[in-house]
Amino acid sequence: MASKVLHAIFTDDDILMHAVKALREKKYSIDEVFCPFPVHGLDKAMGLPGTRLAITSFLYGLVGLAVSTWMMNFIMIEDWPQDIGGKPSFSYLQNMPAFVPIMFEMTVFFAAHLMVITFYLRSKLWPFKKAENPDVRTTDDKFLMEVSVNENNVQAIAEVLYENGASEIKLIDNK
């Protein structure tokens, strides 16, 4: 990581997207962008790799389906079989149509809850974590782009940022 970074403030998400594309065309490195709301297409414009969270969600859903199948088979067939509404409980397959709603709900439950936990762990968000937001205005209505710089390219990057709509630029020393 560079010892100095430029913090460029933008007032609109479209202006920010234009500036990101302009910096990427000139092969400058954008470290981070802080936004008050999600900006559609920003990850692709920054050149970030795709996420694998959808794959984990599918796997968590399969875990939920397996747990629900095992749970219903154990409870309703093996451990405590009951004659409910005249339906025999001799095998799981005979009773499976009645278990489909439970299987669906457990699949969604496991996928949703384990995805939240995975997201928090992957994002390193846990209770009492100190905020890493460099400017509090980005939680209200401003957008901040953090760009790594060295002594040679500070002026060139600042010019590109001003040309593309930055309302304010600060040079910050990383310690």
Structural domains counted in the chain: 2
20 and 81 housed in the same domain: no
> Which CATH number fits the domain that encloses residue 19?
3.30.70.120
Domain membership of residue 43 (yes or no) is no
Arithmetic mean of pLDDT over the chain: 88
What pLDDT digit, counting tens, does each position of 89-132 carry?
777 887 888 889 999 999 999 999 999 999 899 888 888 888 88
Asked if residue 153 belongs to a domain, the reply is yes
> Which pLDDT score, from 0 to 100, does residue 152 have?
82
The answer to pTM > 0.75 is no
Question: What is the C-alpha separation between 51 and 59, in angstroms, rounded?
Answer: 15
Q: What is the Cα–Cα distance from 81 to 83, expressed in whole angstroms?
A: 7
- At 90 the three-state DSSP class reads coil
Q: Domain of residue 64: give its range.
A: 53-122
For residue 127, being part of any structural domain is answered with no
Residue with the bigger pLDDT between 160 and 151: it is 160
